[in-house]
Structure 1
Amino acid sequence: MDPNRTAGSAEAAPGTSVGKIFAEMPLTRQHLKAGFALFFAFVIEAWEMLILSYVSTPIEAEFSVGPTSIGFLLSAMFFGMIPGALAWGWWVDRNGRKPACIISLGSYGVISALSALAPNYWMLWGLRFFSGIALAGILVTVFLYFEELVPVRYRGRATVFLAAGWPFGTLIAVGVSAGLLDVLGWRWVLFISSLSGLWALVVWKWAPESPYWAVRHGRIEQARAAVSWLSRGTIRPTGPLTMPEVSTQGTSGLRSRRLLVMTGVQAVINFSLSWGYWGLQTWLPGLLAQRGLSLPDSYAFIAISAVFMIPGYLAASWLTGRIGRKRVFLIFVFFGAVGGLTFAYSDSLVWLYVGNFMMSFFAQGAWGVWDTWLGEIYPTSSRGKGYSIGITAQRVANAVAPSMIGLLIAISVGFTPTVVFIEAFFLVALVFALALPETEGVELD
Structure 2
Amino acid sequence: MHTDAKPVLLILSKNIGGQDMSSIDPLISGPAPGTASPPRSMAVGHAFRDMPFGSIHFKIGAVLFFAFAIEAWEMLILTYVAGDLATSLQVSATQVGIAISALFLGMIPGSLLWGPISDRIGRKATCAWSFAGYGVITLLSSFAPNFETLAIARFLSGLVFSGVFTVTFPYFEELLPVKVRGKAAVYLAAGWPIGILAALGTTALIGGHGWRWVIAVSALASLWGIVVYKVVPESPYWLARRGRNEDAHHVLERLGAQGISRSTVLTVSVDKRQTIWSLFRGRTGRITVIQVLINFTFSWGYWGLQSWMPTLLEGRGLSASSSLSFIALSAILMIPGYMTASYLTGRFGRKWIFTGYVLAAAGGGFFFATASTETEMHVGMFTLAFFAMGAWGVWDTWMGELYPSAMRGSGFGLGIFGQRVANTIAPSLVGFLLASATGATSTILFINAFLFVTVILGLFLPETEGSELE
Range of TM-score over shorter length: over 0.9
- 1:112 alignment counterpart: 138
Unaligned runs of 5+ in 2: 1-27, 30-39
Question: How far off its partner does 1:227 sit?
Answer: 0.8
- 2:443 alignment counterpart: 418
User: 8 Å contact 1:71–1:406 — kept in the other structure?
Assistant: no
Question: How far off its partner does 1:244 sit?
Answer: 4.1
Stretch moving more, 154-163 or 20-29 = 20-29
* 1:95 alignment partner, one of 101, 121, 129: 121
Paired residues in the alignment total 432
Find the aligned partners of 2:348 and 2:388 in 1 and give their Cα distance.
Answer: 18
Find the aligned partners of 1:410 and 1:107 in 2 and give their Cα distance.
Answer: 37
Question: How far off its partner does 1:435 sit?
Answer: 0.5
* 1:81 alignment partner, one of 96, 107, 113: 107
Are residues 1:442 and 2:467 paired?
yes
Question: How far off its partner does 1:109 sit?
Answer: 1.0
Q: After superposition, what is the alpha-carbon deviation per residue over 1:334-361, rounded to whole angstroms, capped at 9, x for unaligned?
A: 0000000111111111111101100000
User: 8 Å contact 2:294–2:458 — kept in the other structure?
Assistant: yes
* Structure 1 pair 41–255 and aligned structure 2 pair: CA distance change class (3 A): same
* Structure 1 pair 128–235 and aligned structure 2 pair: CA distance change class (3 A): farther
* Structure 1 pair 204–236 and aligned structure 2 pair: CA distance change class (3 A): farther
Find the aligned partners of 1:397 and 1:206 in 2 and give their Cα distance.
Answer: 34
User: 8 Å contact 1:174–1:303 — kept in the other structure?
Assistant: yes
- 1:353 alignment counterpart: 378
> Map of 1:165-180 to 2, 5 A cutoff?
165-180=191-206
- 2:211 alignment counterpart: 186
* Structure 1 pair 116–237 and aligned structure 2 pair: CA distance change class (3 A): farther
Stretch moving more, 329-338 or 66-75 = 66-75
Unaligned runs of 5+ in 1: 1-11
* 1:243 alignment partner, one of 267, 292, 303: 267
Are residues 1:378 and 2:403 paired?
yes
Question: How far off its partner does 1:205 sit?
Answer: 1.1
Question: How far off its partner does 1:146 sit?
Answer: 0.2
Q: Which amino acid aligns with 1:137?
A: G
Q: Relative to total residues, which structure has the larger helix share, 1 or 2?
A: 1
Question: How far off its partner does 1:406 sit?
Answer: 2.1
Q: After superposition, what is the alpha-carbon deviation per residue over 1:211-235, rounded to whole angstroms, capped at 9, x for unaligned?
A: 011101111122111111121x755
Question: How far off its partner does 1:249 sit?
Answer: 9.6
Secondary structure of 1:242's counterpart equals: strand
- 1:142 alignment counterpart: 168
User: 8 Å contact 1:17–1:244 — kept in the other structure?
Assistant: yes
User: 8 Å contact 1:325–1:438 — kept in the other structure?
Assistant: yes
Are residues 1:262 and 2:298 paired?
no
Counting aligned pairs with the same residue, the percent is 49
Question: How far off its partner does 1:245 sit?
Answer: 3.3
Stretch moving more, 279-288 or 149-158 = 279-288
- 2:12 alignment counterpart: none
- 2:32 alignment counterpart: none
User: 8 Å contact 2:314–2:320 — kept in the other structure?
Assistant: yes
Between 1 and 2, higher relative CO (CA 8 Å, sep ≥ 6) is seen in: 1
**TM-score scaled by length of structure 2:** 0.89
User: 8 Å contact 2:272–2:406 — kept in the other structure?
Assistant: no
- 2:14 alignment counterpart: none
User: 8 Å contact 2:41–2:267 — kept in the other structure?
Assistant: no
- 2:44 alignment counterpart: 18
> Map of 1:25-64 to 2, 5 A cutoff?
25-64=51-90
Question: How far off its partner does 1:412 sit?
Answer: 5.4
- 2:357 alignment counterpart: 332
Q: Which amino acid aligns with 2:58?
A: L
Q: After superposition, what is the alpha-carbon deviation per residue over 1:138-181, rounded to whole angstroms, capped at 9, x for unaligned?
A: 11100000000000101000000000000000111111112221
Are residues 1:428 and 2:453 paired?
yes
User: 8 Å contact 2:106–2:157 — kept in the other structure?
Assistant: yes
Secondary structure of 1:16's counterpart equals: strand
Question: How far off its partner does 1:414 sit?
Answer: 2.0
* Structure 1 pair 16–335 and aligned structure 2 pair: CA distance change class (3 A): same
Q: Which amino acid aligns with 1:177?
A: T
Find the aligned partners of 2:265 and 2:234 in 1 and give their Cα distance.
Answer: 15
- 2:91 alignment counterpart: 65
Are residues 1:153 and 2:153 paired?
no
Question: How far off its partner does 1:289 sit?
Answer: 1.0
Question: How far off its partner does 1:422 sit?
Answer: 1.4
* 1:122 alignment partner, one of 148, 151, 163: 148
Higher Cα radius of gyration: 2
User: 8 Å contact 2:245–2:266 — kept in the other structure?
Assistant: no
